[in-house]
Amino acid sequence: MGIINLRSDTVTKPSEEMRKAMYSAEVGDDVYREDPTVNELQEYAANLLGKEAALFVTSGVMGNQLCLKVLTQPADEVICEKSSHIFNYESGSPAALSGIQLFPIDGINGEMSDTDVIAAIRPTAAYYMPRTKVITIENTHNRASGAIQSIEQIEKLKKVADDHKLKFHLDGARIWNASVASGISVSKYASYFDTVSCCLSKGLGAPVGSIIASDKATIEHAFRIRKSWGGGMRQAGVLAAAGLYALKNNIDRLSEDHEKAKHLAEKINSIKNLKINLSSVKTNILLFEPLNISVEEAIKKSKEKGLLLSLGTATSLRALTHLDVSFEEILLAGNILEEIFG
Ligand SMILES: Cc1ncc(COP(=O)(O)O)c(C=O)c1O
């Protein structure tokens, strides 16, 4: 057995069947909207998400940033959770690309309370303050160990957004995982939001791409902006075919990834010098702490034994299960951790 790569769920390689779908994809020039496979993917995804329209974009970051761009004007403000991807890992793009600022607030397991969000909304009469325009949430939440946001809390935040005439954006990079784990359909989740961004290249196993979905006018606006950001792809059907294959074949199987994560979490829980909050592992992301050595050292030692982990927070390690890691490899990963930390 070779290297066991649990650094991310983005490390998967397209399967034989996915590659066949890519190879045989009908293509055209998507800048002219003439790529039949891209068009099919967009229609399929819009349907799945219960939205009027969808757009194929290069990445999750592009998806989130396009959505923020079309929902705001320069000098607007977006409320987000402090450990969210949009705030921490998107290179300061809200400021650079849209001229907006983020207002990060504390969450519990990635979930913001409605009272904290209300407190962060700027009074409209205060002309010297930025204008609050959007509330955004992340589901599942990457830095909160793949936590699923509860529908009750989403409903509360939606009411706050409506009461204050704010837009509501979902970073649903892993909305598929949330849906499979909770049994709530992706269209039900998406129904609360003005814009949704979802990744095809994480647990679903496509090599490239994300989808944004919204009403027709908003997607039309995003189509223009995507081109101006250099995101107009030509015969992109080759990539869209992989996304289409992923949506049709790889959603339900995410439950296997969740099982693997649970199994590994239980193993980690039994190892003396590792600490994990077992109840936090609901999908495919594990965060756990080494108790006897630093995280950097832990990553190095694991790598020497053929197990790739990444940094979760300053004090925690991160492991993700995915399509390209078998149950057998998960057992082996557990044994490697036991050797190092047991
Ligand atoms: C929650 C979340 N949103 C957005 C992204 C960005 O996706 P991409 O790497 O495709 O730009 C990621 C990537 O890890 C993510 O975890």
Q: Does the domain made of 253-341 have the CATH classification 3.90.1150.10?
A: yes
- The helix/strand/coil state of 180 is helix
Q: State yes or no: pLDDT of 75 exceeds 90.
A: yes
DSSP category for residue 278: G
- Residue 341 above 90 pLDDT? yes
State the Cα–Cα distance between residues 152 and 158, nearest whole angstrom. 10
Q: Where in the chain is the domain with CATH 3.40.640.10?
A: 16-249
Give the whole-angstrom CA distance, residue 100 versus residue 234: 30
Task: Please give the distance, rounded to the nearest whole angstrom, from the Cα atom of residue 128 to the centre of ligand 1.
Answer: 33
Q: Quick one: pLDDT at residue 225?
A: 98
Which of 86, 115, 116, 114 is closest to 100 using CA atoms?
86
136 lines ligand 1 (CB under 6 A): no
CB-ligand 1 contact for 142 (6 Å cutoff) = yes
For residue 55, name the pLDDT band (cuts at 50, 70, 90). Answer: very high
Evaluate if residue 334 carries a pLDDT over 80. Answer: yes
Beta strands at 76-81 and 53-57: parallel, antiparallel or unpaired = unpaired
pLDDT by residue (tens digit) across 188-200?
999 999 999 999 9
CA 272 to ligand 1 center in whole angstroms = 32
Residue 81 Cβ < 6 Å to ligand 1 = no
Going by alpha carbons, the residue nearest to atom 9 of ligand 1 is: 60
Q: Which of 202, 226, 311 to mutate to test the pocket of ligand 1 (most atoms within 8 A of CB)?
A: 202
Mean pLDDT, residues 128-134: 97
Ligand 1: atom nearest CA of 140 is 1
The mean pLDDT of 224-244, rounded to a whole number, is: 98
**Mean pLDDT on 276-296:** 97
Q: What band does 132 get if pLDDT is binned at 50, 70 and 90?
A: very high
pLDDT at 61 over 80: yes
Angle between helices 295-304 and 327-341 (to 10 degrees): 120
State if residue 138 touches ligand 1 by the CB under 6 angstroms criterion.
yes
The confidence score (pLDDT) of residue 1 equals 62
Alpha helices by DSSP H, 16-113? 16-23, 36-49, 60-71, 85-88, 93
Going from the Cα of 320 to the center of ligand 1, the distance in angstroms, rounded, reads: 14
Ligand 1 in contact with 57 (CB < 6 A)? no
* Portions of the chain given CATH number 3.90.1150.10: 253-341
pLDDT confidence tier of residue 112, bands split at 50, 70 and 90: very high
Interval 253-281: pLDDT, tens: 999 999 999 999 999 999 999 999 999 99
Q: Which atom of ligand 1 has the smallest separation from the CA of 8?
A: 14
Question: Residue 161: exposed, middle, or buried by beta-carbon count in 10 A (0-12, 13-18, 19+)?
Answer: buried
What CATH number is given for 16-249 in this structure?
A: 3.40.640.10
Counting from 1 in the atom list of ligand 1, the atom nearest the Cα of 84 is 1
Mean pLDDT across the chain: 97
**Over residues 202-222, mean pLDDT:** 98
> Could you give the percent of the chain with pLDDT greater than 70?
100
